[in-house]
Each structure stands twice: as C-alpha cells, then as structure tokens.
Structure 1
C-alpha cells in the first residue's frame, strides 16, 4: 500500500472513503468530525444514529454513508483523548488498523485519513504522525492508497518528513 500526504480538506478528497476522528457518541462534534458532518449533510448523522445507537468505543472503527461528500463512505474511528488521560498508544494505532480493516470489509481501495487525536484530543503531534505512518505501513490490507490529509503547510511538512525518514516495514 502506498502512504501519501496531501495538504487540504479531508471532506473534498476524491477517495472511496474518508476517515472521521469521531467522539464516542457518534453524533457530530468539532474539528474533523464537525467538518465531515457539515460536508456530508444530515445523511451522515442519520446513518450514525441508525448503525451506532450506542456510539463506538475508543479505538474502534465503523462505517456510514458519506452523504454529500465525493467519497462513498465515512469510516468513523474514536481516538484516545490524551488531554483526558487516555494515553495508551495501542488505542491510537487501532484507529488506523481498524479503519483499514473496515475499508477491506466495504471494498474501499483509497482512503483519506486525518491525524487522529492530534487536534482537540491533544495527542503530541510528532507521536500522532509516527503512529499513523508506522501503523499504516505495517498493517496488511487490500487498500491501495492511504492518504494522510494535512491541515496546513506545517502539518504537511511534518508528515512528509516522517514518511521520508521512517522506512517502510517489510
């Protein structure tokens, strides 16, 4: 699988699925979650309510429609909240590996990822990037491209540096 980085808006990516850094309730929120719900329209929230009436656990992944976005699906993951004391890196890694497993289940070959937990949840950005790059590169999947979406030039430069300095495994 090719892991790439693109600076831009995750909601406008022309991919099979976009990954949403959701909260446990799965009812919309701020940051990436709010942007995805706004761009996807009410269909995303309706599908979240129907498919996940009790939400999702931290580290878990599940899919819904992407509503009005160019992508076909949204793969929702619930990252650990560093600020609230959830600091188990395996939960962060499971967001990426779980999203790839869901992508395989639904047949998605191109998937756009945000940096899970690196925003309001406060995960240190350098470790969030390392967890994303290492997990995406080491997880067995039928996905052909995992696209990390950088929000801003600084994030793009940091992710690009990690991609070039952290050799692919295997």
Structure 2
C-alpha cells in the first residue's frame, strides 16, 4: 500500500521540479556581417539551446559555433577555421537576467523586456544589455531579439585583405519558442 502511494507522490514531485524551467533546443540565431556591394555574409544556427529559470528569471543560451550554416561552404570553412576558431572555441554562451520577468504575467501581445548578462564568444566575455520581445502563444513563450555585436569586442580579427568586404558590426537576431 505504501508503495502504491509513493509512486504518485514521486511523479507529482518530479513534475513540480520540471516546471521550474522552460526550455528549447529548436531556437535559432542568425547573424549578418554584410557590406553593401559585396557578397552577403550571413549565417543561421539552429543548434541552439535556451533555458529560462522561472525562480530567478535567469536566461541561459548556448550555441554550437560549427552549426552556423552559410550559403557558401567556403565561407563556413573560413568562419570556423580562421575567424571564430571553432576547434578552440566550440561554443558561444550567454547567461543573463530578464528584468521584470514573471511567467504568469507574460502577455499575448509582444512586450519588450531588458536582458542584462555576459556573452562569451571566441574565449572572450563581455557584459551586454539587449532588448527582447516576449509573448505568450499556444506554442509557448516566444523570445525575439535583434542587436549588434562588434568583432573587436571578442578578439575576432578580420584580415586587412578582406576588411572592406566584412563588417565589424554583426547584426544578430535570436528567435526561441520556450515551453
């Protein structure tokens, strides 16, 4: 009899623990460092994980650097080998806090939230502050953001030979559906 009661209680306890985070492994990060007149320098990465811890509004995102896909394979090879050095720095990592976030109060209309935290790329960490738009949908909590990053901040060197063809300002977009 005790065993029969223990199983449902254990199941309920595990379910309660599981509700303390919302997560996704199907997010995307897109970046573009194109310069007018030259070839498009744009990539998308769907090998991204993102988690929000509900107790403290902590946002953690990780991206596999080798998973950025370019239109041209040669660009992808150069990105991984020469610029981001993916063998040496295989992941980008962000940890931050979503200010004034409460899951119960996320509206169905897109609402802006400020997120402050640390972004680590190419072995360098920098404090950043971004604006993200969150909204509650049938699929979960949608998080979208657009912001710029500077290659110099992360020690990413663009050779003088092609500096006119690649922007040091990288337009970055995030899209996650967390549930």
Q: TM-score, normalised by structure 2?
A: 0.29
Q: TM-score, normalised by structure 1?
A: 0.30
Between 1 and 2, higher relative CO (CA 8 Å, sep ≥ 6) is seen in: 1
